[in-house]
Homo-oligomer: A and B are copies of this chain.
Amino acid sequence: MLHAVIMAGGFGTRFWPASRRARPKQLLALATDTPLLRSTFERLAPLVPAERIWVVTAAATAEATRRMLPELPDGNILAEPASRNTAACAGLAAHAVLRGDPEAVCAVLPADHIIGEEARFRSALAAGADFVARDGGLLTFGIQPTRPETGYGYLELGPEHTREGEWRVFELQSFVEKPDADRAGAFLSSGKHLWNSGIFAWRARELLDEVRRQIPDLAAGLDRLGEALDSPRAGAVLAEVYPSLPATSVDFGIMEGARHRFTIPVDIPWSDVGSWSAVAERLPTDAAGNATQGRVLAENAGGNVLVSSGPVLAIRGVEGLVVVATPDAVLVMPKEDAQRVKEVVEALQDRGWDDVL
């Protein structure tokens, strides 16, 4: 049966000060009416019943996740005692679903993306799941690029492998790191490159087989977790084993070396909402090109991203800035540095100002 695994392990750094450790991006409504995690759940619900939707999240956000998704059985929220990247996260979820469903197929998705044409998205997801259920392999969903985006990683298509209903299934040639502008332009015109969405489908058992073959240390740790999951010692074993698991991503740790890897190109609106600039594209804009959210006054000021979660934000005579105001923390930086909020958060950490992190 198809299970959906929502990876909700964000740190809350890229959207500081709106996001915090205890309130990371997926729990926020960034330029949306609904928090991203809730939207992700609702997007899946018509395809997968709540009993087969799983969320892997940080211990610090498990309770907030539970409150946001009351439909989920308690046991479907898996709390990571430490963050060990997506390979460990996907492996833990595979063990969890296999307990009750040895033939489980997993669709694995980040909790914090914005996706349009949701019915079409579910159709692609179902096709990918049907494909791997029948033919096996690890499959990733790629998004058809609509612009020469330098902020995303790309997938390079191999030969077409088959069709699954209306969807074309390709062999996956390789993962490509974020390109410069020239390469991004070439990728867009090549017709052979997709944005890497970080959304996957596989049989849970096959995922674990690939982990065992490629990252035996990780597999051994995951096996210990799998055995303990239903025991009273589950929490203690998780707390002991999980933090020592090798930290690597699904992309580079598992997919790149997988024996059978595939991709389905999906032509839907998609954003990983990776920075304040990405959020700004979705906010209402005033005549001077200021993207604003909250009580914002912009006088003689243009092209700014002005977001407040409470305080009145008054701006005059400035351009191209990101200003984010909350009652206890304020960020001001140029829009072109929007990817570097993390460095600010690290500097705040160095100062010991943990109360606002």
Contact = CB atoms under 8 A, between A and B. Distances in A.
Contact of A299 (B308, B326, B343): B343
Nearest to A316: B333
A276 to B, nearest CB: 12
B344 A330 contact: no
A136 to B, nearest CB: 48
A334 B318 contact: yes
Interface string A294-334: 01010100000000101111111110010101111111111
A348 B311 contact: no
A308 B330 contact: yes
A249 to B, nearest CB: 28
A31 to B, nearest CB: 20
A13 to B, nearest CB: 12
A181 interface: no
B311 A330 contact: yes
Interface residues of A, number: 36
Given A318-B321, A347-B297, A347-B299, A328 B327 contact: yes
Contacts of A351: 297
Contacts of A299: 343-344, 347
Nearest to A315: B332
A17 interface: yes
B348 A330 contact: no
A332 B314 contact: yes
A299 to B, nearest CB: 6
B316 A329 contact: no
A85 to B, nearest CB: 27
Interface of A: 16-17, 295, 297, 299, 308, 310-318, 321, 323, 325-334, 337, 340, 343-344, 347-348, 351, 353, 356
The 5 A-B pairs with the shortest beta carbon distances in the complex, nearest first, are A316-B333, A312-B329, A325-B330, A312-B356, A327-B327
